[in-house]
Structure 1
Amino acid sequence: MDADAPQPQHDGARQRPVRRRHVLYLSGFDPQGPAHYHALYAAEAAQQARASGYLVSVGKRYRLGTNAAWDVHWTSSGESVETCYEFLRWDDIVRAHWPRGQGRLLRVTLATTARLIWNGSLWRIWQTSWPAFLALAMPAALVASGGAVLVGLITLFSASVIGAVGGWGAITALALAWPLAHLASVAQRKVQMAWLMRSASVVIQQARGRMPALELRLDAFAQRLLDVCRMTSVDEVLVIGHSSGAMLAASVVARALRRDPSLAHTSSKLSMLTLGECIPLLSYQPEAHGFRDELAVLRSHLGLNWVDVTAPPDGCCFALVDPTEVVEDGLPESQRRPGGPKRVSPRFAQCFSPETYVKVRRDKYRCHFQYLMAVERPGTYDFFLLSAGPQTLQEKFAHQPPVLRFDDFRCFGGPRR
C-alpha cells in the first residue's frame, strides 16, 4: 500500500461538539429490513461501549414516515450526544428482486456473469481489483465446473454400462466431484456467492434503466436528505452507505446537491460515509451514464465531506479505489482534476487480537460487515463513535492521512483510460 498522503482534505480545527445528529443509513442489497439492522446496531454498540469505556443507549425501533428509526444516546466524560438513526428502506425492492430456488439462481448467475463478460466490465474490474474480480467470477466458474463434472459422470456411467469404460472411470470422476462440491460449499459460506450474484444482477438492471421503483425511491431519499439538512436543531447530518448501499448513498447525495449545491459548502452540516463500497460494479457498466453523471457531481464539489472506508481483506469491496475516478475516462493527464472522497483503511488488523483477526479475515462475509460491528481494540476504527459520538465525520478523520494510491490489487497496469 502506498499511503503517502499529503494534507487531508479538511483541516483539523476543533469544531463545536455534536450534540444532535441525524443519520440516514442505506443498507446493502439485503432482504433483511430495519428489525435486523436495529438488533445488530444495539448488540454491537453495547459490546463496543464495554470495550471503549463510554455509554451507549439504543432505543426501540419506530416508524418515521415510510422509513424506520431508533434513537441513540451516547455519553462519556460529561459529553452527551443524541442521534436519530434513520433506516432508509429499500428492502422491499430487494425482496422483489431476490430469485429463490436453485434453478433460478443458477440462471441468474450464468446470465449475470455472461453480461459482465460481454460488456467488458468484468475485464475492467479485474484490472482494478483482482479480489473483486474473483468474488464475481467464482460463482459462474464453480457452476460451469460442476456442470462439466456432471456431464462427465453421466458419460462415464453410460460408457461403463456398455462396457466401454470400466467402473474405475466412474469412481475417479466421483473422487473429483467431491472436492469441487466441497469447495463450492466453503465458498458459499464464506463469501455468500448467491447473495453476490443476486446483487450484481440488480446492478446490471439498474444500469440499463430497468429499476424504475428504485429510481423513484432514490428521488424520495434525496428529498428526505434536503428536509433533514434544513432542521436547525441538528448539528450533523450523516449519510451512511454500506456495500451496495454506497452506490445508493452516492446517488442520493448527488441528487440532493443538484437541488441545493450549498449542501457541499465546507460549513455545511452534511457528511457522507461509505463503507465497503462496490461502486465500480455499477459505474463500469457501459449503460450507467446517469450514475457516472452523479459521481461527476460528487467529484466536482470539493467542499463535500465524504470519507470512504474500505479494508483490503474485504474481498467483496473495491479496497482503497477512488470510486469517482471513472468520470475522468478519456481525459489526458493535464485535464484531470482532484476530487473524490478521502479514502482510508479501517486497519482491522490493529482492531483485534491476532487470534480474532485471523477469524475475521478468513470469513469474508463477516469481514464485509465488520464496518458495522464492534472491535476489540478501539482507537483505529469505531463505527459507533462515527455514528453516535461527539465529533463530526470531518473532525474524526482530520488527522488520518488519506490513501492516494493503492496498487496492490491492480492488474495489467490498472484500467485503461
Structure 2
Amino acid sequence: MEKFKRKVFYLGGFDPRGVRFYHQLYRDQAVRHGALTGEAISVGGRQAGAAGSAVSATWAVDNEAAGVSTDYEYLRWEDLVGKVWIRNPGALALRAARAYAGHALKMDFWRMRRLRKGPVITILYPPILAVLIPLLLALVPALILSLVLPFWAGALVGIALSAFLSGRILNKLVVPWLLRFMTYHGALAAQGPGDALDARLDAFAGRITQELDGDWDEVQLVTHSAGTILGMRLMRRLIALRGGVLPDHFVMVGLGQVVPVIGLRRDAHWYHDDLRALADKAFRYVDISSPPDGAAYYNVNPFLLVADRYAARVDMLSPRFHLFYEQENYHGGWSNKYEAHFDYLRVGDRLSPLDFISLTAGRRTVDDAVAAFRTIP
C-alpha cells in the first residue's frame, strides 16, 4: 500500500499550558484510537520546528497499519498567552470589570443572540457568578449564625467560609478561565494583535507556505477555540504569500469556533478587514462545532459576519459527540463546559470519522471523513 503523507499545522486556543500538554494529549488519544481500531499509532517525541522552537514544535505520527505518515507541527503562542494570563484574583476582578464594560458598549449582543443563544449565556454568567457566589457564601451563614451569635461574629465566619469555598466553586464552573478569555479578547478587539502576535502569525504563515508544495497528499491547518480567531488572520497572510491561490490538497479545519467573540465587536475594524479579505478567496474550510458547547458558535459561518457571500468551499458540522460517548463519559452540563470544549481533540468511546486522531492520523482525507460522517444516521 502506498504511503499517505500528511502535514498538519495545529493552532490552539488561549491556553498557557503549551506544547507539552498538547503533545501528551495527542499521545493519549492515539492510544485510545488504537484500542478502538486495532491500528497501533506511533507518536514520536517533540522536536523544534524548522523556524525554531519559539515558533513551533513538531512530532512524527506513524499509522503503519493504515499506511499513513503525518508530520505534526504545533504552532506556538503559549508564551504570549503566559504574558497576559492574569493570576492574581483581585487584578482579574478589576480587569474583567473593565473588559465587560467594553463588551457592553461595543459587542453586538443582539446579533450574537440571534446567531446562537448559548455563547451569550457563557459570556455573561461568569461576572454574575463571580459576584453572587462569594456574596451568598458570606451572607447566608452570617444571617443564620446571627440568630445565636453577634452579627459581627457571624459575618466573620461567613467571610471565612466564602474565602475558603468560593474559589473552588468558581473554578468548577470555569469562571476564572472565562473571565481571562473575555478580558484578553476585549483588549484584542479594541487594540488589535500588536507587534509580537502579528510577528508570530507572520512566522506561522511562512512555515505553512514552505510546506504547501512539499510531498504531501494533504496539508491541514487545524485551529481550535481562540485559535479559530487568529486562524482567520493567519489565512489572510497565507493566501497573500501564495498570490491568492492555495493548492487543492490544503484544508483549514476549525474546531469549537469562536470567531464572533471578535467578529461581533463593533470596534474590531482590523478583524473585520481580515474577514472581508477572506470572503472572496477560494479555499477549503470545514467547521466542526458542537451545539452543547456553550463557548462555540455552531453553524455560524464566520465569513457571513461581514459579507453577504463567500467564495470558500465550506462545511458546517456538529461532531454529534452524544453518538460516540457513553452517557457516563459525555461532557454535558454546566460543570463540564471546559472539558466539553476539549472533546474536539479527543477520541470517544466509539470511533467517529471526525475525531481528532482519525482526521490527523487516519487514511481518509478531510473531505472523505466529512462524506463518511454524513452517512451516519
| Fold-level similarity (TM above 0.5) | yes
Among 233, 243, 246, the residue aligned to 1:251: 233
What residue in structure 1 maps to residue 291 of structure 2?
312
**2:301 equivalent to 1:322:** yes
What residue in structure 2 maps to residue 72 of structure 1?
61
**Do the aligned residues in 1 keep the contact of 2:260 with 2:302 (CA within 8 Å)?**
yes
**Do the aligned residues in 2 keep the contact of 1:298 with 1:340 (CA within 8 Å)?**
no
1:388–1:282: structure 2 CA closer, same or farther, 3 Å change rule?
same
Residue 359 of structure 1: CA displacement? 5.9
What residue in structure 2 maps to residue 390 of structure 1?
363
Aligned pairs for 1:140-155 within 5 A = 140-145=127-132
What is the aligned-residue RMSD (CA, Å)? 3.5
Unmatched 5+ stretches in structure 1: 1-15, 161-165, 329-334, 403-417
Moved more, 197-206 or 355-364: 355-364
What residue in structure 2 maps to residue 222 of structure 1?
205
**Do the aligned residues in 1 keep the contact of 2:275 with 2:303 (CA within 8 Å)?**
yes
**2:285 aligned counterpart, secondary structure:** strand
Which whole-Å CA distance do the structure 1 matches of 2:299 and 2:106 have between them? 24
What residue in structure 1 maps to residue 75 of structure 2?
88
**Do the aligned residues in 2 keep the contact of 1:152 with 1:173 (CA within 8 Å)?**
no
- Superposed CA deviations along residues 65-122 of structure 1, whole A, max 9, x for unmatched, are 321110000133xx41111110111000000011111111111221221111111334
Aligned pairs for 1:166-177 within 5 A = none
**Do the aligned residues in 1 keep the contact of 2:16 with 2:81 (CA within 8 Å)?**
yes
**2:64 aligned counterpart, secondary structure:** strand
1:112–1:205: structure 2 CA closer, same or farther, 3 Å change rule?
same
Code of the residue aligned with 1:309 in structure 2: it is I
Residue 400 of structure 1: CA displacement? 4.6
Which whole-Å CA distance do the structure 2 matches of 1:391 and 1:212 have between them? 38
What residue in structure 2 maps to residue 195 of structure 1?
177
- Superposed CA deviations along residues 354-403 of structure 1, whole A, max 9, x for unmatched, are 2322668861111110110111111353211101122221222135559x
What residue in structure 1 maps to residue 251 of structure 2?
271
What residue in structure 1 maps to residue 217 of structure 2?
235
- Superposed CA deviations along residues 270-321 of structure 1, whole A, max 9, x for unmatched, are 11111011110011112222222222333323x4111000111211211222
- Superposed CA deviations along residues 132-163 of structure 1, whole A, max 9, x for unmatched, are 1122111211233357659979x989xx8xxx
1:379–1:336: structure 2 CA closer, same or farther, 3 Å change rule?
closer
Moved more, 55-64 or 251-260: 251-260
What residue in structure 2 maps to residue 49 of structure 1?
34
Code of the residue aligned with 2:130 in structure 1: it is V
TM-score computed with the length of structure 2 as normaliser: 0.86
Moved more, 128-137 or 354-363: 354-363
Which whole-Å CA distance do the structure 2 matches of 1:63 and 1:381 have between them? 28
**Do the aligned residues in 2 keep the contact of 1:72 with 1:85 (CA within 8 Å)?**
yes
Among 110, 117, 120, the residue aligned to 2:97: 110
Among 257, 264, 267, the residue aligned to 1:284: 264
**1:378 aligned counterpart, secondary structure:** coil
Moved more, 34-43 or 215-224: 215-224
Which whole-Å CA distance do the structure 2 matches of 1:249 and 1:183 have between them? 36
Moved more, 144-153 or 281-290: 144-153
Which whole-Å CA distance do the structure 1 matches of 2:329 and 2:139 have between them? 42
Which whole-Å CA distance do the structure 2 matches of 1:390 and 1:360 have between them? 34
Which whole-Å CA distance do the structure 1 matches of 2:250 and 2:63 have between them? 20
1:178–1:46: structure 2 CA closer, same or farther, 3 Å change rule?
same
What residue in structure 2 maps to residue 11 of structure 1?
none
Structure scoring higher RCO (CA < 8 A, sep ≥ 6) equals: 1
Which whole-Å CA distance do the structure 2 matches of 1:172 and 1:151 have between them? 7
What residue in structure 2 maps to residue 10 of structure 1?
none
**2:81 equivalent to 1:101:** no
TM-score computed with the length of structure 1 as normaliser: 0.78
Among 273, 279, 284, the residue aligned to 1:293: 273
Which whole-Å CA distance do the structure 2 matches of 1:308 and 1:210 have between them? 23
Code of the residue aligned with 1:314 in structure 2: it is D
Which whole-Å CA distance do the structure 2 matches of 1:145 and 1:173 have between them? 18
**Do the aligned residues in 2 keep the contact of 1:299 with 1:340 (CA within 8 Å)?**
no
**2:114 aligned counterpart, secondary structure:** helix
Residue 212 of structure 1: CA displacement? 2.2
**2:119 equivalent to 1:132:** yes
- Superposed CA deviations along residues 394-414 of structure 1, whole A, max 9, x for unmatched, are 222135559xxxxxxxxxxxx
Residue 31 of structure 1: CA displacement? 0.4
Which whole-Å CA distance do the structure 1 matches of 2:16 and 2:254 have between them? 20
Unmatched 5+ stretches in structure 2: none
Q: Percent identity?
A: 29
Among 16, 19, 28, the residue aligned to 2:4: 19
Residue 337 of structure 1: CA displacement? 5.5
What residue in structure 2 maps to residue 332 of structure 1?
none
Which whole-Å CA distance do the structure 1 matches of 2:187 and 2:254 have between them? 22
Which whole-Å CA distance do the structure 2 matches of 1:281 and 1:215 have between them? 19
**Do the aligned residues in 1 keep the contact of 2:40 with 2:64 (CA within 8 Å)?**
yes
Residue 203 of structure 1: CA displacement? 1.7
**Do the aligned residues in 2 keep the contact of 1:62 with 1:70 (CA within 8 Å)?**
yes
Code of the residue aligned with 2:96 in structure 1: it is T
**Do the aligned residues in 2 keep the contact of 1:88 with 1:221 (CA within 8 Å)?**
yes
